[in-house]
Structure 1
């Protein structure tokens, strides 16, 4: 589903004049001179720098701010959106092309207000809608770490947005609709472990940015929090994260969540696609206490509304799909779809298989499945790609069979769906 329409910008630009006042006086206050002096001294603290490295890893900052085969944090990666490409900037302390001349006030403003050093509005491909929840102390730690990196001279690449999306003032309307700055506030009725998990998921982890469907303007409604959504431009589906009835992780235990985030593999499934990179670069390095806190928070998400009962219609290609499954898949995933514990993931009851769109299963069959290499699973088994061996009709048949066998009761997919995703870029 596209989350944009060609004509959205007309009312959005009109809203600029009406809603621009909303931001007057709503910025975060800058620190006092004494506070700035204390911040400057703290930036040299080795303990603060080490903590900042951990927090930057939790936030997966390097994933966006490092080009393929590029120097870490030196930018250069182009982040695709339905509106055009936005380059991730250099955040090493180079004075001319990085953040070498930035003060902590500048950095704090970027995270909490989504504004650049000159006060320019930042495009929300930078997840300030989540990072605004990061505490001041944690932001200072991350800034200290970034300032400790070797400076890399690498100018930003050109912005790939055309009119009207390259008009930054139009972001005033977007921000009025979708952005409310403010740090995370612990819930006094909840235990510390829950609050820690909520802080990580809602803030640094910015899980909402992928695991929630966006509307036609590219915004996220609060009531959709972590209810699952298709990731724009990547064509993967990030599942609903509730473990309660009707949720995308229905039946998952806290240990299943911890195992997946720590090793890339659990009894319920394996991390593939974009999530494999998240595990490899970020979550495997999190402390056991933080992983457990994330699991506690996710298990507190509410049940999801149950869909209205519908007559289940088996795909006409079910028999052909079963033959292909027996030939290509059963040796690893089993005739019963239960897989092999610790080796091959189960397909029966696997939410990545039964997610609403069928994209994940289609792309896994076409491209193969590559679990992340982690300290807890240094030699993961991978799944071979079948794009060169199976036609669109064959892929649709076997995916439909998997989605409609055993306890799985998901909708079938069509050959045209396969054709749409066959040539989608991996990154």
Structure 2
């Protein structure tokens, strides 16, 4: 246990910038109004490269010295590192249980808010977390398994990432991700025309908010959440100081207690008495979010200039003539026919095929428009009309040949 009446502060300074005599003189002048409460102040050569400043005094005195010393270090642009900070240790020890209470209460809220939804169980993690966060958390879980401690993913989520869960926005399709066969087939299932297809794509790239779909139901208004969010950002910043042994001020203790009371007070008013209708609506919203999260796995596939992105596809739809739209729509529907054809060797793999360009097994990187692939809009003399890369997805003994496929999508004539 540190002695609050004899707290040491030791700082190493770069000797090439100032000698021990100069540092002691400047610090004494800087702290002249505090000297009567300081029991020790000296600067000594600790090595050929460093000068060690040693100050000793009560907790309050050393805490007050910090600001003045920090200002001196910044203004003088001095190189230094703190090696002993007894006052900081005492403050961090007092702050830790407050921080722990706040963090655990917030984790409890997120868990309760999601489990309160109809038909949602303890395996909800894959529903609310995107692939990046899942990967990040999984690494932490794997490390914890070494000590054979069973942990829920939420327990392995970093405090700052909890805010991201509530404010995350996802979409079924992102504007810059490539379109895959599965994407086209899903969009076609809800479309009866190119106009409708365009509408479905635009709808799919709209961001779905976790706040709007789930967590807003538990607060009176957005202002309540904004208040908690700002308080939590302050808490997280101070938590980092505590956990990583950074300088921290005594006044933070009262500030943390105030933030704790504010956060707890708002969370106590959270409405967990959702109606059956609200629970069913939230359940559907979670399913929508799951669909959007699932789409992120497509981005794991290698990308190339030959892939068409969602926004590029929308651009092309804007310039198509009526006849071109008809051709495109017919060919897109043929993809759906292929996906459901039992001649395909692997339906799952087929759905995740990226749409690429090729001709005579040579990939073309200058053309990256799906409409050019399927509507044959390009008339470049150096290559034949490209088509979708579907090589090797048929059974070897199938009577349905690749020529039949190419003939059906219009690459070769009957």
| Larger CA Rg, structure 1 vs 2 | 2
TM over 0.5: no
| TM-score, with structure 1 as normaliser | 0.25
Higher relative contact order (CA 8 A, sep 6+): 2
| TM-score, with structure 2 as normaliser | 0.26
Q: Give the structure with the larger helix fraction.
A: 2
